[in-house]
Structure 1
Amino acid sequence: MAHLALSEFQALRIAVLTISDTRTLATDASGQTLIEGLQEAGHILHERALVPDDIWHIRARLCAWIADPQVQVVLMTGGTGFTGRDNTPQAVGPLLDKHVDGFGELFRQISLEQIGTSTIQSRALAGLSNGTLVCCLPGSPGACQTGWEGILRKQLDCRTTPCNFVPHLKTSPEKPAASCRSRT
């Protein structure tokens, strides 16, 4: 189904969550990469947080943002590998109403050109929950740059045709985005 594209950009409210047992906000280059990308594109950073790689800490922070009527997108970095402490997919998966199966597939395809077959060790994923797009990327700045430039920049822009994610996101209570909604 094609969506009506706008000629005017619509800034989204995006939260960034870093999952790490070792980083601090001051040393979080991956989260900073996502923030720089979203702000350069004209979006609004709603909030930034860092939690340990623990299923319950991840879920608690993510659930608060999913329930927040102001948060339209959550970008997460870290915890998508295979070590014993990589828990992001297990934490996030049950919270999603709909999985965006193609996100992880496309991320790995784009990453193949950059890191070769090591891309199969990424469990990048995305989905929708309560009108919030949740995207989970690996914890390296390069992976965050790849995900932002290769997928998210265009999919979070309501001018992208033939379709993008904006019509599926919750709208601000004070400013409906009906002009970016799909036509049925």
Structure 2
Amino acid sequence: MSSIDENKAFVPVRIAVLTVSDSRSLAEDRSGQVLVERIEAAGHVVAARTILRDERAEIAAQLRDWCAAPEIDVVISTGGTGLTGRDVTVEAHRDVYEKEIDAFGTVFTIVSMQKIGTSAVQSRATGGVAQGTYLFALPGSPGACKDAWDEILSLQLDYRHRPCNFVEILPRLEEHRRRK
């Protein structure tokens, strides 16, 4: 079973938070605020935060910019993962991914099923990697952000988590670019 190895030092990661919404402002962004509070409480750094409209090209451009920024290790977006015509965050993420973390969406669905039952099928949460940066797309509800952080990301973004975690392999995400 998984556990935290207290003999290892905590390693903070730098996380950017993107809220995708046609209607919210920073002051009204409850989901983004949930993520910011949890990121900081865990000891990580909020490296950037913004809100963008539900526009696929704009979202993908912001993701690419953050992936290219050496001061950002992880990007977490909230909003735009549903089934409506304006929900394009998942497509924007996949436009950027070099590798998809297929099990992230599956594990998120399992966590969600325990909270909201079969309504979990309406979420298209996803995760991936691009340019040595982790990217995660979460639904736009504060509850979904709490669930994803508390049940998945807080553990996988903790270097002390065993048997494995995302932080320990972060330096190796671009090892293929260093090969001769």
State if a TM-score over 0.5 links the two structures: yes
CA distance 1:51–1:6, change in 2 (3 Å): farther
Take 2:81 and 2:97, find their aligned partners in 1: how far apart are those partners?
A: 16
Equivalent residue number for residue 177 of structure 2: none
Cα distance, 1:121 vs. partner? 0.5
Equivalent residue number for residue 81 of structure 2: 80
Take 2:166 and 2:27, find their aligned partners in 1: how far apart are those partners?
A: 31
1:146 aligns with 2:132: no
Q: Secondary structure at the match of 1:127?
A: strand
Q: Secondary structure at the match of 2:135?
A: strand
Aligned residues: 168
Runs of 4 or more off by more than 6 Å in structure 1?
A: none
Equivalent residue number for residue 44 of structure 1: 45
Take 2:120 and 2:83, find their aligned partners in 1: how far apart are those partners?
A: 12
Cα distance, 1:94 vs. partner? 2.2
- 1:29 counterpart letter in structure 2: R
Q: Which runs of 5+ in 2 are unaligned?
A: 173-180
Instruction: With a CA cutoff of 8 Å and minimum separation of 6, indicate the structure with the bigger relative contact order.
Output: 1
Equivalent residue number for residue 59 of structure 1: 60
User: For 1:17-166, what aligned pairs fall within 5 Å after superposition?
Assistant: 17-166=18-167
- What RMSD over aligned residues (CA atoms) do the two structures have, in Å? 1.5
Cα distance, 1:112 vs. partner? 0.4
Q: Which runs of 5+ in 1 are unaligned?
A: 172-184
State TM-score, norm by structure 1. 0.88
C-alpha offsets along residues 1-31 of structure 1, whole Å, 9 cap, x if unaligned? Answer: xxx9961001101000000001001100000
Take 1:98 and 1:158, find their aligned partners in 2: how far apart are those partners?
A: 21
For the Cα contact (< 8 Å) 1:5–1:163, is it kept in 2? no
Q: Report sequence identity in percent.
A: 48
